[in-house]
Amino acid sequence: MKDIKDNDKNLIEDLCQWKMTKAEFETKTNFKVNFKQLNFLLDESENKVTEYNDNQYFEAIFWSLPKALSIDEKAYIYRKYLLKTWHHEHEEIVGTFQIFFNNEEINIPILLEAINTIPEYLRSNDFKYSYIRKIIYAIGAQPEPNNIQALEKLANETDDEQIKELAFHQIDKRKELGRWEFIKNEK
């Protein structure tokens, strides 16, 4: 990419190859990737992940590379890469929708789509339902009443009894507890 200096490209490569930590990277440069650069680097990492069957490039760029992004840009990146099936960071990414990105209705269809696009490495029953549980928790953390409506629709439209059970459990939990900001305001 033309707008990343050669020295920074080399440092990014070293970071991706785990030849240095994020802290070491930050002592050698003040480079922070912007939205356009991050999209480019993450898309480029697909080739390395696929070619070498090694997730470290994507992982380093996604999590360790210092970023200069707005919250909206960051949310966009997380939504986009949650649905890509060629990397191995889905469980970590979906967790951010429960904890950080939980105030926008736009996340709900993305999270529902993630249930339908489970990557190969998570498809065995040992991992699949743990991952789906995390997705359902993330849906539950989204704005009400859209979260409950989405979970009800999911539970009513699936033939998978485990998904149905997880969705109904989350619906009950949300109806009992509500979202945390409403509980805080009542006290």
Give the tens place of pLDDT for each residue, 42-88.
998 998 888 777 899 999 999 999 999 999 999 999 999 999 999 99
CB-CB contact of 99 with 60 (8 Å): no
**pTM (two decimals):** 0.88
pLDDT at 1: 59
Q: Which of 61, 35, 36 is nearest to 47 (CA)?
A: 61
Non-local (6+) Cβ contacts of 57 within 8 A are: 16, 45, 48, 49
Would you place residue 176 in the very low, low, confident or very high pLDDT band (cuts 50, 70, 90)?
confident
Between 13 and 53, residue with greater pLDDT: 13
26, 50, 51, 71, 114 from 46: Cα distances, Å: 24, 6, 8, 24, 18
38, 84, 113 from 105: Cα distances, Å: 24, 20, 14
Task: Give pairs for 115-118: CB < 8 Å, separation 24+.
Answer: 115/154, 115/163, 117/83, 117/85, 118/85
Distance CA 132, CA 166 (A): 8
The predicted-structure confidence for 95-146, as pLDDT tens digits, reads as follows 999 999 999 999 999 999 999 999 999 999 889 999 999 999 999 999 989 9
pLDDT at 24: 97
Distance CA 67, CA 34 (A): 6
pLDDT at 64: 95
| Residue type at 53 in one-letter notation | N
pLDDT at 104: 93
